[in-house]
Amino acid sequence: MVTDISSSKTTPHMETPAAPATFKVNVPSSSTKLPATTGTLIDIDNLDFYYGAKQALFDVNLKLDDKRVTAFIGPSGCGKSTLLRCLNRMNDLIDGTEVKRGSIKIRGVDIYGKNVDAIELRKRVGMVFQKSNPFPKSIYENIAYGLRIQGQNNKVRLDEIVEKSLRGAALWEEVKDRLHESGLGLSGGQQQRLCIARTIAVSPEVILMDEPCSALDPIATAKVEELIHELKKEFTIIIVTHSMQQAARCSDKTAFFYMGKLIEYDDTRTIFMNPSNPQTEAYVSGRFG
Amino acid sequence: MSEPSNPFATKPSTGRSLEKVVLGIFRAATYFVLLCGLAIFADIVLKGLPTVANAFKTTSTFPYVTNTFLFEAPESLYVFEHEGKKLEMGDREFRAFREAEEAKAAAAKQPAPKFKPESYVYSAGGIWPCIVGTVLLVVGSMSIALFLGVCSAIYLNEYAKDGPVVRFIRLAILNLAGVPSIVFGLFGFGMFVIFFGWNVSLMAGWFTLAFMVLPVVITASEESLKAVPKGFREGSLALGATKWQTIRKNVLPYALPGILTSSILGIARVAGETAPIMFTAAYVVRDKLPWDVEKSADFFFQGVMALPYHIYVVSSKIPQNEYTARVQYGTAFVFLGIVATIAMSSIIFRNKLRSRYKW
């Protein structure tokens, strides 16, 4: 069952929490004020996606808001990472994958269309991976990498962007004295923030995060989450996460996937407090998954 | 008060004894191999080192010292008795000596002295042309093999879609590695020497040797490309890099140490093979050095002397005795030294690269 409720349903806040007492998550209070969204940025329409003969996504319909954090949650193998990787066509790298039906439009342009170059797309839609993957280069070169491949070799300009990106990723103070040491010498959390800095250095519009905190300790996780909060002023963020607390803490909207289908998509608060689908309720209350 | 009984004491059993025997066999096998290797090396070094060490000679020009074994061409050795003394001389020295003696005799109005020398070819002088030839063969063929090998490894590993065709290519490459070197020699002879009309030449030798080591280079290059974490590629592509940018800047530099490791193996093989070059590149003897050519294009189409082939010639085509043993062992010793030097410098270079990129 697919429920596209993004446009139709605006559930009023209910006083009685729907989540049972066995499992509690902190949801953002309804008073949180957000700058007005400029509307839908990414429009996923009737998407069917295949790994070879195996269908991974079934008729997904989703409208993702600009300058918002959207979380994809769901049990392992539910297709949330697959969908995320569809958004910057990283799935192209895997042999035999195919979008058989439907479309993904970013600002109205079908990214699987004939006139779209995946290289140009990925410059606009950056990605942070589950396992932090700084290149075995210096911190500086890690950040400059994306600019250098675009032909930017002006030292002054590079210095400027490196600093700006590191500040943007809340890493500048920690690494400013060792910019030319290897990025692999950083701690796990710093490495992940370095990867985020590397991504924002090429100034994308969208940042995809594929379980960015799954390998981090709680303190590093908190820092990344804080960062996500800052970043959404400038970027549209889509985050896949296994941690429901994380989805609740840092996302504005949440989409719940199960078995390759989008089950429910709504404001994060609604998903966690008052889900309309029993499967969603079972998942967010910790009864399966 | 009695000692508490020890439950952890060894309980002898046939299984335990068998284990000790098996361990003994493993250890003995290892030491045996080590011993064989040491015996071979010791034999060559002990008998070959004096040949090189005794050949140092001072000269009147810079750099004032030379080594006749390393830096001179091979000559015939003449052994003869003269005035009750047994003398050994190289070709040029013998001629000069004979002329001097004859002149002396003529001056004294005596009949010219008769020399009845025994002669042994290649047993005097040195092996300089062979060293030059071997180095040229190694450098040329490894350049060709590395270029072709790395290119095809990149294609197979990064670009080609895994399927029956790629699997068949891989299988073919692996099979190629098992082909005996003499077959490569005959292939090179038929293909490059006869069909392409390159004659016995450096070019023919380079390509024959390159084809021989290609399987090793390709397989090992692919392995080292595979060893570069997928995250580096994904991270780079996600930043909007093209595939080639990713490979050139973010995969190849990290795979290079591994590729070099494989090429070290290749160098030892290329330098050491006799069979492929005896039909394609090697001359038994050649007076001119490779750079002694009229046109620069001739450089590529000339045969050279080579150490492994020289070892083959001096050990099988001339008699074995005290006079020839020097050059036989000396050549083998120098050859080992050269291979070791090339391998060592590659290893140092590789380690330098490796310490630059660590993950």
User: How many angstroms separate the CA of residue B333 from the nearest CA in chain A?
Assistant: 42
Query: So what's the pLDDT on residue B359?
Result: 65
Phi, psi for A207 (deg, rounded to 5)? -120, 120
**If you ran DSSP here, which 8-state letter would residue A58 be given?**
E
Structure tokens at B297: 């294009």
Residue A211 falls within a domain, yes or no?
Answer: yes
Residues of chain B neighbouring A87 (CB-CB closer than 8 A)? none
Per-residue confidence at A13, pLDDT binned at 50, 70, 90? very low
Query: So what's the pLDDT on residue B289?
Result: 83
Structure tokens at A126: 């950056």
- Total beta-carbon pairs less than 8 A apart between chain A and chain B: 69
Query: So what's the pLDDT on residue B352?
Result: 84
Of residues B229, B238, B254, nearest to A122 (C-beta):
B238
Q: Using CA atoms of B47, B48, B53, B57 in order, give the dihedral in degrees to the nearest 10.
A: 120
Query: Contact A93/B237, CB-based, under 8 Å?
Result: yes
Task: Give tens-digit pLDDT for B203-242.
Answer: 999 999 999 999 989 998 999 999 999 999 999 999 999 9
Query: Contact B236/A145, CB-based, under 8 Å?
Result: yes
Does any CB of chain A come closer than 8 Å to the CB of residue B239?
yes
Query: So what's the pLDDT on residue A11?
Result: 43
Residue A1 falls within a domain, yes or no?
Answer: no
Query: So what's the pLDDT on residue A165?
Result: 92
Q: Where are the alpha helices (DSSP H) in chain B?
A: 14-53, 68-71, 91-107, 128-154, 164-177, 181-188, 202-227, 230-238, 243-250, 252-272, 275-280, 307-316, 322-356
Of residues B162, B238, B254, nearest to A127 (C-beta):
B238
- Segment (H or E) for A131: none
Residues of chain B neighbouring A148 (CB-CB closer than 8 A)? 249
- Report the Cα A30 to chain-centroid distance in Å: 22
Q: Of A13-27, A105-119, B38-52, B326-340, which range is least confident?
A: A13-27
3-state secondary structure of A286: coil
Query: So what's the pLDDT on residue A28?
Result: 55
CA distances from A151 to A195, B202, B359 (A): 20, 42, 26
Of residues A95, A146, A184, nearest to B239 (C-beta):
A146
pLDDT of A25 > 90? The answer is: no
Domain span at residue A245 reads 40-284
For chain A, what is the domain count?
A: 1
Q: Please list the ranges in chain B whose pLDDT falls under 70.
A: 1, 358-359
Q: What is the pTM of this model?
A: 0.80
Task: Give tens-digit pLDDT for A163-221.
Answer: 999 998 888 989 989 999 988 989 988 999 999 999 999 999 999 999 998 888 888 89
For residue B63, say if its preceding peptide bond is cis, omega within 30 degrees of 0. Answer: yes
Bridge partners, A236 (sequence order):
A206
Phi, psi for A247 (deg, rounded to 5)? -60, -45
Residue A16 falls within a domain, yes or no?
Answer: no
Residue A223 falls within a domain, yes or no?
Answer: yes
Contact A65, A253 (CB under 8 A): yes
What's the CA gap between A29 and A49, in Å, rounded? 36
Q: Which residues of A touch B (CB under 8 A)?
A: 88, 90, 93, 95, 119-120, 122-123, 126-127, 129, 131, 133-136, 145-146, 148-150, 182, 184, 195, 198-199, 202
Per-residue confidence at A69, pLDDT binned at 50, 70, 90? very high
DSSP-assigned states of every residue in B285-321: --SS-TT--SSGGGGGG--B--HHHHHHHHHHSS--S
3-state secondary structure of B354: helix
Residue A201 falls within a domain, yes or no?
Answer: yes
**If you ran DSSP here, which 8-state letter would residue A36 be given?**
P
Query: In this structure, what CATH number is given to the domain that contains residue A86?
Result: 3.40.50.300
Residue A2 falls within a domain, yes or no?
Answer: no
**How high does pLDDT run on average in chain A?**
85
Residues of chain A neighbouring B240 (CB-CB closer than 8 A)? 119-120, 122-123, 146, 149-150, 202
Query: Contact B254/A95, CB-based, under 8 Å?
Result: no
Query: Contact A136/B162, CB-based, under 8 Å?
Result: no
A149, A161, A184, best to mutate vs chain B, most B CBs in 10 Å: A149
Q: Where are the alpha helices (DSSP H) in A43-187?
A: 80-87, 118-124, 139-148, 155-168, 172-175
Query: Contact B240/A150, CB-based, under 8 Å?
Result: yes
Per-residue confidence at A19, pLDDT binned at 50, 70, 90? very low
Residue A169 falls within a domain, yes or no?
Answer: yes
pLDDT of A92 > 50? The answer is: yes
Query: Contact B245/A133, CB-based, under 8 Å?
Result: no
Give the residue-averaged pLDDT of A235-243.
Answer: 91
Give the residue-averaged pLDDT of A28-56.
Answer: 77
Does any CB of chain A come closer than 8 Å to the CB of residue B236?
yes
Does any CB of chain A come closer than 8 Å to the CB of residue B166?
no
Residue A31 falls within a domain, yes or no?
Answer: no
B165, B228, B239, best to mutate vs chain A, most A CBs in 10 Å: B239
Q: Is B212 exposed, middle or buried (0-12, 13-18, 19+ CB in 10 A)?
A: buried
**Is CATH 1.10.3720.10 correct for B128-356?**
yes
Q: Is A10 exposed, middle or buried (0-12, 13-18, 19+ CB in 10 A)?
A: exposed
Query: Contact B241/A120, CB-based, under 8 Å?
Result: no
What's the CA gap between A233 and B308, in Å, rounded? 71
Q: Secondary structure of chain A: what % helix, strand, coil (to 5)?
A: 35, 25, 40
